[in-house]
Chain A
Amino acid sequence: MKIPEFIDKDSVLTGVAASPGVVIGKAYIVDRSKVDIVYQYLIDESFIGQEIDRFEEAGRQTETQLKEIKADMPRELSEHAYILDAHLLILKDSMVHQATIDLIRRERINAEWALKKAVDQAKEIFARIKDDYIRSRINDVENVTDRIMRNLVGHTPERLTEIKERVIIVAHDLSPADTTQLPLDRVMGFINDMGSKTSHTTIMAQALEIAAVVGLENCTRRVKTGDLLVVDGTAGHVIINPNEKTIEYYYGRQQSYESLRAEIVRSAYLPAETLDGYRLEVKANIEMFEEVPSVNDHGSDGIGLYRTEFLYLSRRHPPTEQELFEDYRDVARLIHPRPLTIRTLDLGGDKFASSLEWAEEMNPALGLRAIRFCLKEQGIFRDQLRAILRASSVGNVKVMFPMISGLEELKAAKNVLNEVRQDLTAEGVEYDRQMEVGIMIEVPSAVVIADMLAREVDFFSIGTNDLIQYSLAIDRGNEQVAYMYEPLHPAVLRMIQSVVQAGHSANIKVTMCGEMAGDPLCAPILLGLKLDELSMPSANVPYIKRLIRMATFKECQEYLKKILLCQTSEEANAYVNEIILTRFNGFPGEKEIKT
């Protein structure tokens, strides 16, 4: 979209349109940069005691702040509380606390300098650790000592929960730990220096339907707290301190956007059927029971992916079979008669066992996770399968196994499932004997042998997030290579195509439940690929359904033919952009919004 002439070009920042919507409001800078510290030798003996007292006081303040943050944490984020418990332990750890005091005494230096030295020493020790996971714990140490340092220097640490008015959050980048502190009801929009279509802020903003523009590079340097901002998350623009005329213009865009959004959501109940009568199912991905009402409000044809990890997090013992059963049964009942696909536990071993959940930064992708973990910890796996089978008596439940890489794993998982079925039969417990069993296709080896796997299951669900990461060998959490995360990479498209073909030759359904499934830019191509079902965040469902209703299956097959000829992701991206812009009025309905 072009920016109208009357807007001063110097006031415009352009980035990635991360989450659609237009908002006008005050900026609030979340500053996570380090504080400048002073270095002083303590000339007089008496200063040593003073510096130690200052350091102890800063430690006490930090403790109070961490405890307050923990206490104020909204209930829905309580699974993150363990991070704060870990930080409280680090605060008092001798490698931080006693080491700093020793340095003040021995080297006669001020508290800031001593703390910095203590952290540098810890960094050196940790840098020698071979285990990636343990080595990366140094990030937590830095996080805590950063806070102590701010208290020492007299900077008040960021208390995001203290934001009182509705604001637009301006940040360099937001980590999951930062967003746990955000008062989401007071956030109108997000703008970030860093980030892409797949970063944490983007995913969260989309889920909450909050406008966001990311990848702006220097917004934290261009914007001050209190500046008036326009965030156009549909076009990817931010206007700093807009004039009267600009505000009026964007107010108009906001109104048309809101009414278009309302209309799209109102028509969400209509089936996802193309103009030439090709129909597919558009379903929602959920993580917890509380999301089911939203699934129903957004016209989903069911739940295509119930991620079951949530109930296992931040607790000492795994949930009981009964607890799991009640949860699955309640979700199944609420969504009935539409289907519910439950994915068995997809956690890394370390993540599960650790109530401190420090696994976030390590590379868990190739480790003991998902089905591998379940086959090792069979007690946990059996409890979950019993719960799923018992819930299947509602009549609409399917199960799928994540991370299947070969037939051995699949057969082992199916054996456990069969044993659990026999147990239940012997106990006279009711369950759906026809319950469909599927697998996630997210490991490249599974793509290659999809024809063999297809004979063993009732459906495939392509998990594009992992499939893309594994195929292109990129960790999208790593900023250096995240740009290479390309759903429309020729290799990815060919893999999807071959999975669909393998599934359809074996007469089983092939669905997709990665982020790609909810990306309107990809939707015409996915239609052309003949996927039977797409599953996505429920907020995206109305948009994807609408786009499908605007398309013909015939034209999408043409698009597919052409995109398969593209040699690079860049070419493919340009091509889908053109399709969306020229054929589908932009997205979501960019051209329909009055300007």
Chain B
Amino acid sequence: MKVKNKERGIDKELVIRNSLGLHARAAARIVELASQYESFISLEKDGNVVDAKSVLSLLTLECPMGSKVLLRAEGEDSCAAVEALTDLITNNFGES
């Protein structure tokens, strides 16, 4: 994990690998998990940054399979948040 700057939070580059991309159910799972953390958490794709706690905003990113996204968290629990969300995304949202 690249730690850029403690105060400005942590980010991590990830690739969406499940066949359906960041579809409604996957987005809902990100929101579900992100909402458990205090940190401000965002997802960035092609320069667009959106709130990872908003299912609608996540959908507007339009991430098909293979999309590269940048996950970023700022706040007290940013480490734990990035770790948990990385897990979720790299495990294809628990889909087979």
Contact = CB atoms under 8 A, between A and B. Distances in A.
Asked if chains A and B come from one complex, the reply is: yes
Interface of A: 85-86, 89-90, 93-96, 122, 125-126, 129-131, 133-134, 137, 141, 316-318, 349-350, 353-356, 358, 376-377, 379-380
B62 A134 contact: yes
Contacts of B64: 131
A88 to B, nearest CB: 10
A379 B54 contact: no
B33 interface: no
A86 B28 contact: yes
A126 B23 contact: no
A353 B64 CA distance: 14
Contacts of B43: none
Nearest to B53: A94
Interface residues of B, number: 21
B62 A95 contact: no
B46 to A, nearest CB: 13
Nearest to B31: A89
A387 B49 CA distance: 46
B25 A93 contact: no
B18 to A, nearest CB: 8
A391 B62 CA distance: 42
Interface string B8-20: 0000000000111
A129 B24 contact: no
A457 B94 CA distance: 37
Contact of B24 (A137, A316, A317): A137
Contacts of A94: 51, 53-54, 57
A125 B20 CA distance: 21
A141 B55 CA distance: 11
A380 B95 CA distance: 12
B56 A90 contact: yes
B59 interface: yes
Contact of B20 (A122, A141, A349, A355): A349
A354 B25 contact: yes
Contact of B55 (A93, A126, A129, A355): A93
Contact of B62 (A86, A89, A130, A141): A130
B17 to A, nearest CB: 13
A379 B96 contact: yes
Contacts of B94: 316
A376 to B, nearest CB: 8
A131 B53 CA distance: 21
21 contacts: A86-B55, A90-B56, A93-B54, A93-B55, A94-B53, A95-B57, A129-B60, A129-B62, A130-B62, A134-B60, A137-B24, A137-B59, A349-B19, A349-B20, A353-B18, A353-B20, A353-B95, A356-B24, A356-B28, A376-B19, A380-B96
B96 A318 contact: yes
B60 A125 contact: yes
A358 B24 contact: yes
Interface string B59-96: 11010100000000000000000000000000000111
A531 to B, nearest CB: 38
Given A131-B62, A379-B96, A141 B28 contact: no
B60 A126 contact: yes
Contacts of B95: 353
Contacts of B24: 86, 134, 137, 354, 356, 358
B96 A355 contact: no
Contacts of B57: 93-95
Given A353-B20, A356-B24, A93 B56 contact: yes
Given A85-B28, A356-B28, 5 more contacts: A89-B28, A95-B57, A125-B60, A129-B59, A129-B60
B28 A96 contact: no
Contact of A95 (B18, B25, B54): B54
Contacts of B59: 129, 134, 137
